[in-house]
Amino acid sequence: MPAVSIARPACLAAIVWIGAVPFAAGGEIAGSGNVVYTLTPLSSDALPGGSLINQAILKGIVLADDPNHPLHLTAQDCSGGSIADDQGKMMEGAGSCTMVDRDGDVWWLWYHNRGDDRQWGAIAGTGKYDGVTGSGVTAELAATADGRLAISWQGTLTLK
């Protein structure tokens, strides 16, 4: 399958965290898993020198390695932008995501991708995520020309 060249990079970071143990009241929770997205390109504009700035929206479902984890099947909506060179190869991308778990609690994350350096971090949250902190990394697993994307993620969140 050919790689997606428009805004795929922005999505990669669409980086999410899901732990491998159930939530307790506070504490640090490490986790890993995958996220599967559909990507909707919004715009692609030429920059001086031939590179492009691409804007996109991604909608995904977070899959935790432990299907009993409370964040398994969390909905994720991301918005981001990426810079691609004149050959369409992603050079750098960044954005943010909104996560809504099965209990209706929400948290937000930022992401930044540059080459194989793909990082994410917690911004804020509601309910059990109020005061959340944490960070992690992602890696691309697959991307198709029609806007499908799968990533792996790992990281740690700290709850109050």
Model confidence over 25-50: pLDDT tens digits? 578 888 999 999 999 999 999 999 99
Please report, for the chain, the start and end positions of each structural domain, with discontinuous segments joined by +. Answer: 8-20+32-155
* 68 band by pLDDT with thresholds 50, 70 and 90: confident
pLDDT (0 to 100) of residue 8: 45
- Higher pLDDT, residue 141 or 68: 141
pLDDT in tens, 70-96: 678 999 999 999 999 988 888 999 999
Any long-range contacts for 94-101 (C-beta under 8 Å, 24+ apart)? 94/10, 94/13, 95/10, 95/13, 95/14, 96/123, 97/14, 97/15, 97/16, 97/58, 99/16, 99/62, 99/71, 99/74, 99/75, 100/74, 100/75, 101/70, 101/71, 101/74
Taking the alpha carbons at both ends of the chain, their separation in whole angstroms is 43
pLDDT (0 to 100) of residue 47: 95
8-20+32-155: CATH number: 2.40.350
Dihedrals φ, ψ of 8, to 5°? -55, -40
Does the pTM exceed 0.95?
no
Dihedrals φ, ψ of 127, to 5°? 55, -130
